[in-house]
Structure 1
Amino acid sequence: MLPVERPISFNPSLLGAVNAGRKTVTRRRLPLELPPNCAPAAYRYCGQHAGYARFTGEYPGGPTHDVPCPFGTAGDRLRVIEQPELVLLILSVRAERVRAITEVDARAEGVGETEAASASGPTRSVLAAFQELIDQFYSHCWARNEWVWVVEFRRLAESELATA
């Protein structure tokens, strides 16, 4: 059985980070019209199952919402629209609030400081750089602490593409 393959897009700087091996994860916002992002703080993530993220309300016994991941599941592939010969293998998928990101996570997003911490003058942390980046794509995402898909991946080598 052939793996499922879906398209994904990256801006030029993030595509460069993927090609350089600095970007191994991407965060993409869940649609705003879905209940978890209508009121992000009112929902809890209960895990992934069969390509869906399950959310429950903050009160026991409340409704659950299963949200399909448009990127697929572990083992599926992502073909980069801007560079079609580049194929990424999904290692894991989960949902989390955008501010749950750590400094290590931000580095895996391909984000770095704008200046070294020892430099004189203004510096910007990796987390601040990620916050600016995510808000460029999704206005007010950081302020609302919205739910995002976290898709971890690795590049497939040409030899791996030939065997599938």
Structure 2
Amino acid sequence: MKDRPILFSPLMAKAILDGKKTQTRRIIKDQDAVEFYEPTGEFIHVHANDCPSYCDYACQYPCPYGMRGDTLWVRESFAVWDGGTTYLANAVDEDGDEKEWVKEARLAYGVRWKPSIHMPKALCRIHLKVVDFDVERVQSISDDDAKAEGVESAAAFRELWIRINGQGSWDSNPWVWVVKFERIS
């Protein structure tokens, strides 16, 4: 079993803490390589454009976010001040806007948020266990899966996807890893 970092926005970290988020979708980096896929247990067999028809699963591609049973430690935006650590997920409202006390701390005490990519493992407070994974097109999301993503519907997930991944990211309908997890207390 491996222990891997994974980045989450403040709203998604909050959704995990609230028990609303139990899956995440992440873009497969090499979109041109994917023709179709087959789940084969611990790997996804991605048939790539350059994969020979006789490959006999030689083109197996492991999910970069972990296999079943692996642990993910969540990297989130944070600030260390006044002898402790504050996490931005605790400091934003449902719209992702800073709460008033956060603005005051930033202005009065010079508190600066550090991006999630810089969060050391020692400050991690959210650990997840990978329970399953799959591959699909992002637009294939159902309303039930959108709820497991921490939002109310597939339409709301579309808006979130565009906010996180940028304009055009939904319309291109990329292949994504679907990672299902449970929080480890």
| CA apart distance, 1:20 | 0.2
- Conserved in 2, the CA contact under 8 Å of 1:27 and 1:149? yes
1:54 aligns with 2:45: yes
1:19 aligns with 2:47: no
TM-score (norm 1): 0.72
Give me the whole-angstrom Cα distance separating, in 1, the residues matched to 2:146 and 2:183. 18
Give me the whole-angstrom Cα distance separating, in 2, the residues matched to 1:68 and 1:138. 23
Q: Tell me what 1:9 maps to.
A: 7
Q: Tell me what 1:142 maps to.
A: 170
- Conserved in 1, the CA contact under 8 Å of 2:33 and 2:47? no
Q: Deviations over 1:55-88 (max 9, x none)?
A: 2269x93877433311110100000112602110
Give me the whole-angstrom Cα distance separating, in 2, the residues matched to 1:98 and 1:62. 29
Rg (Cα) greater in structure? 2
- Conserved in 1, the CA contact under 8 Å of 2:21 and 2:149? yes
RMSD of aligned residue pairs (Cα, Å): 2.3
Q: Tell me what 1:123 maps to.
A: none
**Alignment size in residue pairs:** 134
Identity fraction in percent: 36
Q: Secondary structure at the match of 2:20?
A: coil
Q: Tell me what 1:151 maps to.
A: 179
Q: Tell me what 1:81 maps to.
A: 75
- Conserved in 1, the CA contact under 8 Å of 2:12 and 2:150? yes
Structure 2 runs not aligned, ≥5 long: 77-122
- Conserved in 1, the CA contact under 8 Å of 2:31 and 2:174? no
| CA apart distance, 1:53 | 2.0
TM-score (norm 2): 0.64
Q: Tell me what 2:149 maps to.
A: 109
1:133 aligns with 2:172: no
| CA apart distance, 1:46 | 1.1
Q: Deviations over 1:114-148 (max 9, x none)?
A: xxxxxxxxxxxx11111121122334232122110
